[in-house]
Structure 1
């Protein structure tokens, strides 16, 4: 299968560093960020997991649960955590999925179906495509994806910005312009007529073109995740 924006995020059961979970049940009514890694004890991923541990409270404020996946057993993940804390100053408290049988990586279309059934003997290079971030809504629909090569560390500040946009535009009939940051003006989507806009945005807006109307950012309603 090919997993695209707008598709249902596949459900699964798996062992994690926080015990066994069923993914959709674990998400509950929260947003989710599932991010994957090709191998434990790899340098770029070590820096990423540590930085995301630092940002975890910022995701929680946005009613968003964070979960990682690496194509290795949970025991390896547990040993890796101490390295991450030592190297970055931040030890992940979010769960890391053990995917030693490659089932989740295949389910999320990060590895082909003929990739085998074990992580044993595989290297970071043979798992290079396991480098995707999935933003998933409370409705379990994939809202956004980001894929990076192994040589480039991911920008999790950008993932937060993307999440802010996804949450805002899910609640209000707006889009966010280039380089938008939380609190800045938004765009009224073309499907909203001027008459409807008067009700939705009583404070008014600035019309640059009939299809490009800027409006102050509406208030978001997301509540913190437990």
Structure 2
């Protein structure tokens, strides 16, 4: 059984990503060292040799070039042994030609799954839900997604969110609903009357004084 203390300690947005040491399909990993200075996406799947998980992991693998261009590391996880992981990686490669080159954590003792709140009793106590953690180069968790066991993730949204987080950090702006690269961004609301008047005289796209958009 998962106790309330384990659930209450689930990491939240703004927390530093909990550190751990684990065996993966690419070797032993000290998580804090592996992710240092790079954007990282840590994602869990319920089990090896399952249909939805195979489509998802293949989706991450097929976007290898995109994540490389964004200097973003991928780390997968499920509550399976390293031998199961390796057999599954080999099976998928033989059947589809797709190789999962990113590390997949063997979490047979559920240590990492519990640390990151990937085990949610209402869904399952023995399989990790489809969690996605976006971690910035300083090791801070910036965004978390959770999906149930029977619904696959949206790769387009994962890519969009990564670009949005990086854009927001670089330009100190916010992003509106459905924002895509190349579209206008939202400028922070004015905090003084002088800032409000300055904004009204600007070339921003003004919906109102508190909602203004601009091109990057």
Shorter-chain TM-score category?
0.7 to 0.9
| Aligned twin of 2:117 | 109
| Aligned twin of 2:74 | 66
Q: What TM-score do you get using the length of structure 2 for normalisation? A: 0.86
Out of 25, 36, 60, the position equivalent to 2:33 is 25
Alpha-carbon distance between aligned partners in 1 of 2:130 and 2:170, rounded to the nearest angstrom: 29
| Aligned twin of 1:53 | 61
Alpha-carbon distance between aligned partners in 1 of 2:58 and 2:178, rounded to the nearest angstrom: 25
Alpha-carbon distance between aligned partners in 2 of 1:126 and 1:81, rounded to the nearest angstrom: 25
Instruction: Give structure 1 regions of 4+ aligned residues with deviation exceeding 6 angstroms.
Output: none
CA RMSD of superposed structures (Å): 2.4
Alpha-carbon distance between aligned partners in 2 of 1:87 and 1:64, rounded to the nearest angstrom: 27
Alpha-carbon distance between aligned partners in 2 of 1:191 and 1:67, rounded to the nearest angstrom: 40
| Aligned twin of 2:6 | none
- Structure 1 spans left out of the alignment, 5+ residues: 116-123, 218-226
Q: What TM-score do you get using the length of structure 1 for normalisation? A: 0.83
Deviation at 1:191, TM superposition (A): 5.5
Structure 1 residues 170, 127: closer, same or farther in 2, change over 3 A? Answer: farther
Deviation at 1:103, TM superposition (A): 0.4
**Which structure shows the higher helix fraction?**
2
SS in 1 for 2:41: strand
Out of 25, 35, 45, the position equivalent to 2:43 is 35
Alpha-carbon distance between aligned partners in 2 of 1:2 and 1:35, rounded to the nearest angstrom: 15
Could you give the per-residue CA deviations for residues 16-45 of structure 1, whole angstroms, max 9, x where no partner exists?
000001011001210000000121111100
Alpha-carbon distance between aligned partners in 2 of 1:192 and 1:173, rounded to the nearest angstrom: 15
Equivalenced residues, count: 204
Structure 1 residues 125, 110: closer, same or farther in 2, change over 3 A? Answer: closer
Task: State whether residues 79 and 127 of structure 2, in contact with CA within 8 Å, keep that contact through their aligned partners in structure 1.
Answer: no
Deviation at 1:2, TM superposition (A): 2.4
| Aligned twin of 2:156 | 157
Moved more, 183-192 or 167-176: 183-192
SS in 2 for 1:41: coil
Could you give the per-residue CA deviations for residues 97-149 of structure 1, whole angstroms, max 9, x where no partner exists?
0101110001102227xx9xxxxxxxx95434431000000111110011111
- Structure 2 spans left out of the alignment, 5+ residues: 1-8
Give 1:128-139 correspondences, 5 Å limit.
128-139=127-138
Give 1:189-204 correspondences, 5 Å limit.
189-190=188-189, 195=195, 204=203
Task: State whether residues 173 and 192 of structure 1, in contact with CA within 8 Å, keep that contact through their aligned partners in structure 2.
Answer: no
Out of 93, 105, 109, the position equivalent to 1:97 is 105
